[in-house]
Amino acid sequence: MAIALIILGAGMGTRMNSDLPKVLHHIAGAPMLVHAMRSGAALDPARTVVVAGHGADAVGKAAAAYDPDTLTALQAEQLGTAHAVAQARAALEGFDGDALVLYGDTPFISDETLAAMAAARLTHDVVVLGFEAADPGRYGRLIIENDQLDRIVEYKDATEAERAVTLCNSGVVAADAATLFDLIDAVENDNAAGEYYLTDIVGIARTRGLSATVVACDEAETLGINSRAELAQAEKLFQAKARLEAQEDGVTMVAPETVFFAYDTVVGRDTLIEPNVVFGPGVTVETGATIRAFSHLEGCHVSRGAVVGPYARLRPGAELAENVKVGNFVEVKNAQIAEGAKVNHLSYIGDASIGKSSNIGAGTITCNYDGVFKHKTTIGADAFIGSNTMLVAPVTIGDAAMTGSGSVITRDVPKGDLAVGRAKQENKPGFAVRLFEKLKARKAKGS
């Protein structure tokens, strides 16, 4: 059965106190909307529709950045969840299959839970995701009668007996798409809030003789984010889970609580991660690498046996081959470093290619930007770049070539050559003593 995702992301998120749409606030390096889309992607949806309202252009752009095939529907006026889902009708015109309603601010629903909902749809017309709440509070209650979900009652509309129920509504629902929109057409807004509740479709379905059931999940999966404090809690929960999964996959972390993963970080077994390491989006670390303390990695690939850090920064486009060493206070951006090469100290390597087994001395800088364009530096295999060398791109250093320390290299260096590009040193006898005496006398006179 084909599945379409309808992801609701139109809310302003007043409690966030932000100009940014609520669903675009980040968890683990990605908007919470993307986390919801990733959850739904486990079902291999035929279509995905994001319903946007506040900041619709930005929400649509973020959704398309993750999945270019995502459709965006506009909810210009927020009149309730049923009204929000109804805005996806045009985007799903001609679609024959199930619709699953998710929420852009509920990012942690597991693949297993969604698979269970899809399975339950084989035997029931409407499937609702619920959870046993430790503190039911103001959640909507799921009322079960005769082994069927009979209705969903919002807290503000519930009786005392209904409020005593601890099985609560997550808001996530699955049904045949045509059936879903047909039920929504029958929803009215005669309730305490004057809104069109998606929850009302269950009661309407039951009066029409349709079946409804509940799939239960852990309460943590249904965490909704409505404030900065809840956003921080969500980050904490994500990181705790990611660290545990990494350890179970064979990754060693000296101080796990100080390591922060992105939503898509991939780390191979037998990798060692020292304290205070941060992974931004788009990082893959292969088996047996070492990421030393206080390093920051984003958009990069680290191969088997490589050592990064301490205090290193790998930016997008950094590609480290096997057994590469990138040391303290080294920054690498959009550069490929071949097997066994070393950049050990205080260097910037940007828009560059470094050959196998080359050694880049301390303080080396690839001068890649002329104020308008970026230019490439190419260094061959077995080259030796002396400390404090400025490589003014575009420039090529041949295999087994060398640069003298303190050189400014502006022309290509052929294979095997030594290049020295620095001013001739002159020593002026006694000049330092005379100069200091003159300066001290001037200072004394001025005081």
For 374, which DSSP code?
B
Backbone conformation region of residue 86, classed left if phi is above 0, alpha if psi is from -120 to 50, else beta: alpha
- Given a contact cutoff of 8 angstroms between Cβ atoms, the answer to whether 361 and 343 are in contact is no
Whole-angstrom Cα distance, residue 361 to residue 385? Answer: 5
- The gap from C-alpha 388 to its chain's centroid, in whole angstroms, comes to 36
Choosing from 25, 26, 35, 345, which is the catalytic residue?
A: 345
Q: Report the SS3 class of residue 208.
A: coil
Overall residue count recorded for the chain in this entry? 447
Q: Which of 261, 222, 254 is nearest to 240 (CA)?
A: 261
Cβ-based burial of 299 (10 A; exposed 0-12, middle 13-18, buried ≥19): middle
For 299, which DSSP code?
S
Q: Is 345 a catalytic residue?
A: yes
Give phi and psi for 333, each to the nearest 5: -140, 130
Q: Provide the token pair at 41.
A: 């992607």
Strands (E), 201-292: 212-216, 252-253, 266-267, 272-273, 278-279, 284-285, 290-291
Q: Report the SS3 class of residue 360.
A: strand
The CB density around residue 19, as the number of other CB atoms within 10 Å, is: 9
DSSP line for 15-49: GG--SS-GGGSEETTEEHHHHHHHHHHTT--SEEE
Q: Which of 126, 127, 221, 174 is nearest to 2 (CA)?
A: 174
| Pairing relationship of beta strands 167-176 and 98-103 according to DSSP bridges | antiparallel
Whole-angstrom Cα distance, residue 210 to residue 247? Answer: 46
| Pairing relationship of beta strands 325-328 and 384-385 according to DSSP bridges | unpaired
Q: Provide the token pair at 248.
A: 């179970």
Q: Provide the token pair at 227.
A: 């404030």
Beta partners for 360?
343, 385
Active site residues: 345
